Structure 1
Amino acid sequence: MGEEEEEHQENEDNDWEDHDDNDWEDYDEPEEVEEEEEEDTSGEDSHLFSDSSDDDSTVILDTDAEVDFENHPLFKKEKPKHKWFVLKEVDQRQLGYSAKLQSRELFQRRCYGSLHCVQRLELMYKLEEHAGCVNSLNFHPDGTLLASGADDLKVVVWDWKLGKTLLKYKTKHRANVFQSKFLHLYGDLHIATCARDGQVRLAQVNKEEGVRNARLLGSHKGPCHKLIVLPEQPHIILSAGEDGAVLNHDVRDPKSTKVVTVKEDSKTIALYSIHGHPLKSHEFCVSGRDSIVRVYDQRKSNKPAATYTPFVKAKAKNHRNYHVTCAVYNHNGSEILASYSESDVFLFDVNDTEPGKFIHQYQGHKNGATIKGVNFFGPKSEFVVSGSDCGHIYFWERNSEALVQWLLADDNGVVNCLEPHPQLPFICTSGLDWDVKVWVPSCEVEPKMEGLSDTIKDNLKMKLGHEGTEFNENRMLWILWRHLRNTTRLRASNMLNIRDFLQLYSDSNSSGSESVANSDGSDDDLDRPPNCNTS
């Protein structure tokens, strides 16, 4: 049911069995750190964010203060104006006006980055093949294929334009597949996956033969949520796990190597996200169970090259509950976008590392139930897009911070994954539903966004601690009930058993740092789909 986010709890040490001789050598176990006495920070820095900015969107998260939701700054954002007009563009292309400026590539980019395309997005169709929550989406570099990974331990490769399954295969992971990525290699399709069992695997597949070759590249000592592939180094995969380690997997080598173990004051930081610089293959950013986004250079990875946080005092007591669930670079690496649990989405200038400094803050959504993704939309990162616990997709115009599109994208309430097409103004999404939704700019009218105001007010109330506890408890009970019903159906097909549901309930009440490991290593357990996870 998506990736687990462990709120208000410390990392637990996990004992992991070595299931494969491929584990990388000299791995440093996450160190145990005695809990330090919490300092009394009452009265200190009640403003969690820097208030030095002139932008009135800066939020003061003081839950004891009276908040006027009706007059929230988000509702006062000036809507951006259209700068691209399809009739004018087509007419000028037909007349040959400024032929140099009317090339096919420039026309495509201007269309992709236009407000018109974002506001005309609508659901084209649903891709239905998985028997579990879909946790990952990835377009092939040429945009022709789409790969999805899910809780059913399978990867499906789609011909998304036709809405058909091209091929599917079992990954041999033991728990929820969290990421699936195409490698930039020729010939057969090469797909790398990582999962809650901590393993990073590579499969070589084609339509005629299915899986031609599959092997384990390496393992984390904890769940592995994200991995990246490097276009300039197509044989290299970097993965980040909850053990705090970033691993380098060269598909030509038998073993993986450790790049860095992320720590803060000798304490290992669980990692939820990793993203590569689009122009510098040696640079990447990671984020996880604290409020800091860290940038590392592989050539000198003993310490971060830069750090970013919207908080003035990143280590203050009040900031410990704000985790970065996802951080990504923009199209040229000049900015980093980060989504914070129980907070907002922030945009950082890579050249300004002062704590509390950020360029923009995007509000209105709710990020709390899962490890939620965030992304840019447009060839020049013109828009910011995020899922939400309310089941909607939110599109903000990058510069104005104004909400320009709002779409219901998950019937069960949480949208986790957002994958824009690399060349065209399409986007695919997934969440707790067992399908992939394809959105295209074909709607004939601009969005009315009815109910947006009430939904945002509810999200803001929950975010600031008003009426949020009761809602979250009720939602958890509803989700558990729904999956008990689905589990009963799947048992008839010998897909799940009662132990899986008990594990679901246990996972939803635990820190989530434990991986679902195979207790006896039997082959039967390898192909048994696990439960969906709510956090």
Structure 2
Amino acid sequence: MDHNSHSTDGPNGEVSGDAKPEDKSDDQNTSQLNANKETNECPMDPMDGKDNTSDAIDANTTSDTKTVKPLDTTKSKLVGPPKLLLEEEDNLLSYDPTPNTSYPSIKWHSLQQLQQREYGKLMRPGNKRPMNSYESQAFRRYAYNSLYFFQRLELMAKFEEHNGCVNCLNFNSSGDRLISGSDDLRVAIWDWQKSTLIHKYHTGHTSNVFQCKFCADGHHIVSCARDGQVRICNVHRIGSTVVSNKLVQHKGAAHKLSLTAPQVILSCGEDSVVFEIDLRADKPTKLLNVKNANQQRVPLYSVHSNMVFNPLQFAVSGRDPFVRVYDRRFLPNSEANGTVAPVLSICPEKLKQSKHSVTCCQYSSTADKLLATYNDEDIYTFDAKTGLSETRYSGHRNNATVKGCAWFGDQYIVSGSDDGYVYGWDSQSQHIVMSLYADENGVNMCSQALKVCICWHKRQELVEIIQIHAINLCHI
């Protein structure tokens, strides 16, 4: 099914640059990476934590194991200066897709650091200060932000289960469970490490499921759909029959959900309304109608907040070029009549008079930046306090569907594209440093888990997961 249905009207050398140690340990690492490619195997990251949801689901459902398809890396692409290409890498880009931006400088040499770690000698980025032996979390963070590892993301598995387009993905808080929602009106729960389907249930929606999310407690899954409904299901004890309850009804398609507190959910829809759903309350609260300067309603495609660093503010975007930020403290206690003004109205200067739509907006992990992707345009970042436009990311194509964008940590930005690739930009240099072939029909969205795993959903009935080479080295 064509994903234009998301909207009733539709929105207008060496790749890493890391220094290559000239010792035998590095040669062994390189040989191991090549061996993994030849056998189509990618080292798995053993998850050591489970939440109650995982145990409850495993205990009360019959697992449906899916065979993982052989990896197809023939269309994977790595981006980097030609003079720095590694000999062991295949199918590299023969051109630079972002020639007007500079290639990012290397701040942390991954292979050298992995070698030095064996000797108990670790340095922070820029060799400013050594790390002690107890700073394993810091080492992981630097490794995950490493250009070397980011450029070596590759396809790990494909899951086939849905009978319609896969529109949404979400990991639970511990990162060991993945859910997917589809046009077939069902949500599938996966143990992605074991390539196993745990359970699939009917959501109760009557039209395309656009988003599904684990709640903070890990026991509930909330979903929204083209029918305008927001529904919730308890997955703590899944049986043969799963009952979902309707939380709220929009008068247009409901596209996105956001958690602002462990028990509080925001929803937005094409009726321009933002609802606040407190799971402890009897009924939802209508926060506001989003209107433009001419008091015309703005159909909404996205709502997002940062539950940790700034839970009182949330950003919305839709069928006009502005990202609007609202503060919960400045909204009226009673239901709003649509006259509430945002604390920030954000848009690049050159797009203010345009008809471009913002198909997705997202806060960074520290809530100091906002990311926005424009239909038929590029991706932009803004200062979340001042609203000033900071950087622009070009090279992808956002036209056919309502596409999302995502932060990969705070160092990289990822997005799907109509050409079937997932692109990754360095957030500072604005240079495309990674691209992966996903699907010939286009990639709609990317999602990230805590354990540095990224997956995408597409216009096919597939969910694909990719993971970096030698990630097990970073989980020592």
Alignment counterpart, residue 96 of structure 1, candidates 117, 120, 124: 120
In structure 1, the residue matched to 2:425 is 396
Instruction: State the SS of the aligned residue for 2:115.
Output: helix
Tell me, yes or no, if the aligned pair for 2:162 and 2:184 is still in contact at 8 Å. yes
Relative to the length of structure 1, the TM-score reads 0.66
Tell me, yes or no, if the aligned pair for 1:396 and 1:403 is still in contact at 8 Å. yes
In structure 1, distance between residues paired with 2:427 and 2:229: 36
Instruction: State the SS of the aligned residue for 1:155.
Output: strand
In structure 2, distance between residues paired with 1:313 and 1:442: 40
**Aligned 1:136-285 pairs, distance under 5 A:** 136-185=168-217, 189-206=219-236, 209=239, 213-230=243-260, 233-264=261-292, 265-277=294-306, 278-285=308-315
Matched, 1:115 2:147: yes
Change (3 A) 1:73 1:144: closer
Deviation at 1:72, TM superposition (A): 10
Alignment counterpart, residue 164 of structure 2, candidates 129, 132, 143: 132
In structure 2, distance between residues paired with 1:335 and 1:181: 23
Instruction: State the SS of the aligned residue for 2:320.
Output: coil
In structure 1, distance between residues paired with 2:134 and 2:114: 9
In structure 2, distance between residues paired with 1:182 and 1:166: 15
Aligned length: 369
In structure 1, the residue matched to 2:453 is 426
Instruction: For residues 315-361 of structure 1, give each alpha carbon's deviation from its aligned partner in whole angstroms, at most 9, with x where no partner exists.
Output: x3xx02x00000001111111010000100011112333xxx41111
Change (3 A) 1:416 1:443: farther
Deviation at 1:82, TM superposition (A): 3.0
Change (3 A) 1:7 1:99: closer
Tell me, yes or no, if the aligned pair for 2:98 and 2:395 is still in contact at 8 Å. yes
In structure 1, the residue matched to 2:469 is 442
Instruction: State the SS of the aligned residue for 2:329.
Output: coil
Deviation at 1:256, TM superposition (A): 1.2
- Choose between structure 1 and 2: higher strand proportion: 2
Matched, 1:377 2:408: yes
Deviation at 1:116, TM superposition (A): 1.1
In structure 2, distance between residues paired with 1:105 and 1:309: 37
Instruction: State the SS of the aligned residue for 1:281.
Output: strand
Instruction: For residues 370-408 of structure 1, give each alpha carbon's deviation from its aligned partner in whole angstroms, at most 9, with x where no partner exists.
Output: 000001102xx1001111111111101000011101111
Tell me, yes or no, if the aligned pair for 2:6 and 2:255 is still in contact at 8 Å. no
The residue type paired with residue 428 of structure 2 is N
Change (3 A) 1:8 1:206: closer
Matched, 1:364 2:395: yes
Tell me, yes or no, if the aligned pair for 2:301 and 2:318 is still in contact at 8 Å. yes
Matched, 1:75 2:104: no
Change (3 A) 1:313 1:155: closer
| Deviation beyond 3 Å, 4+ runs, structure 1 | 5-9, 210-213
In structure 2, distance between residues paired with 1:270 and 1:336: 20
Instruction: State the SS of the aligned residue for 1:347.
Output: strand
Q: Structure 1 unaligned runs (5+)? A: 10-70, 445-535
**Aligned 1:271-310 pairs, distance under 5 A:** 271-277=300-306, 278-301=308-331, 302-310=340-348
Tell me, yes or no, if the aligned pair for 2:215 and 2:259 is still in contact at 8 Å. yes
In structure 2, distance between residues paired with 1:213 and 1:383: 39
**Structure showing greater relative contact order (alpha-carbon pairs closer than 8 Å, 6 or more residues apart):** 1
Change (3 A) 1:207 1:160: farther
In structure 1, distance between residues paired with 2:426 and 2:241: 42
The residue type paired with residue 374 of structure 1 is C
Deviation at 1:206, TM superposition (A): 4.0
The residue type paired with residue 405 of structure 1 is M
Tell me, yes or no, if the aligned pair for 1:205 and 1:213 is still in contact at 8 Å. no
In structure 1, distance between residues paired with 2:435 and 2:229: 36
**Aligned 1:318-337 pairs, distance under 5 A:** 319-320=354-355, 322-337=356-371
Instruction: For residues 161-206 of structure 1, give each alpha carbon's deviation from its aligned partner in whole angstroms, at most 9, with x where no partner exists.
Output: 11111111000100000000000116xx200000000000000024
Instruction: For residues 419-468 of structure 1, give each alpha carbon's deviation from its aligned partner in whole angstroms, at most 9, with x where no partner exists.
Output: 0112x222010110111110111289xxxxxxxxxxxxxxxxxxxxxxxx
Change (3 A) 1:344 1:235: same
- Aligned-residue Cα RMSD (Å) equals 2.2
Deviation at 1:100, TM superposition (A): 2.8
Change (3 A) 1:211 1:113: farther
In structure 1, distance between residues paired with 2:240 and 2:99: 51
Tell me, yes or no, if the aligned pair for 2:166 and 2:457 is still in contact at 8 Å. yes
Instruction: State the SS of the aligned residue for 2:117.
Output: helix
Tell me, yes or no, if the aligned pair for 1:181 and 1:229 is still in contact at 8 Å. no
In structure 2, the residue matched to 1:348 is 382
Change (3 A) 1:339 1:141: same
Tell me, yes or no, if the aligned pair for 1:177 and 1:196 is still in contact at 8 Å. yes
